[in-house]
Structure 1
Amino acid sequence: MTTRRTSTRPVAAQGPATEEGRGGEETTEAATTGEGTPLNPHPRFSLATVVVDCPDAPALADFYQRLLGWEVKFHESDWVLLRPPEGGTGLSFQSEAAYRPPVWPERAEEQQKMLHLDIRVDDLDEAGAYAVALGATLAEVQPQDDVRVFFDPAGHLFCLFLH
């Protein structure tokens, strides 16, 4: 995996910005024993975004922006960050020249999926038709009646399900 970063991109491995700059150490207020000893001291973690590798970050981000109705918060030629309008964990797309789409259902010796997105919808048929109109492909194998499995334009799996 090639990871390229500039100072303006989110860097999940660094801590939050501090007066000293990026990467400052921060701890949470830990619960303590009656003697003041921390029960489980640890650094603070907060999931900022899930990064999806793909051959063309702007193109795949455009697909998910239209599918989810999310906002572009950051855009470079090889990196795009989307966030829901109400806030929360984002979805980022990173261009990777050596990207290979996964095979599903999984087969030995083939590229395996690393994760998939589960997306809640109000109407499976309507949402599925919309996803296909945007460029998704309905998977041949559909293991459940109340879930629809699709491939996005870069070949990643995502599932639509009723809430």
Structure 2
Amino acid sequence: MKIHMQNIKKITRNGMLALIVGFSLISISCERKEVPTLSVERLNEIYLTNSPWRLERVTVDGVNQTNIYRELVLSFTRENYTSTNGRVIWPGSDTWEFVDEEKTVFRRGDGILVTIQSITIDSLVLSLEWESNSIDTGRQLAIAGNHIFEFVK
């Protein structure tokens, strides 16, 4: 009986050793693919151009002015943007380009600087300074002040 137990222990030990060696060989032979990590700058660009962005809320100097800009939709490509219902503050189409290394500020073709306050795959908060009130046929088109635009997908 003693010999039999020793053989079982030997087989078990050899089997475990074979399993360890086998798994080691498999893991060495498998090609490791590194998942590229994207910089914050690159994510900002990718998320921004993953359009369209639909307006959820606008404040001007801390006061809710969503009603003036309701139904605003922005769409970005790598060099241009288009707006629907952007009124004077967001012209129908224009160019844009990042002006800082972190890619958190961009300049539109009309010279207006826009700051990306936050951005995720499904939400975008932009701010800009608008210098004058605009009224057309009794309808307010824009309000002067610091605008914070909150968009969603």
TM-score (norm 1): 0.21
Relative contact order, higher structure (CA 8 A, sep 6+)? 2
Larger strand percent: 2
TM-score (norm 2): 0.22
Larger helix percent: 2
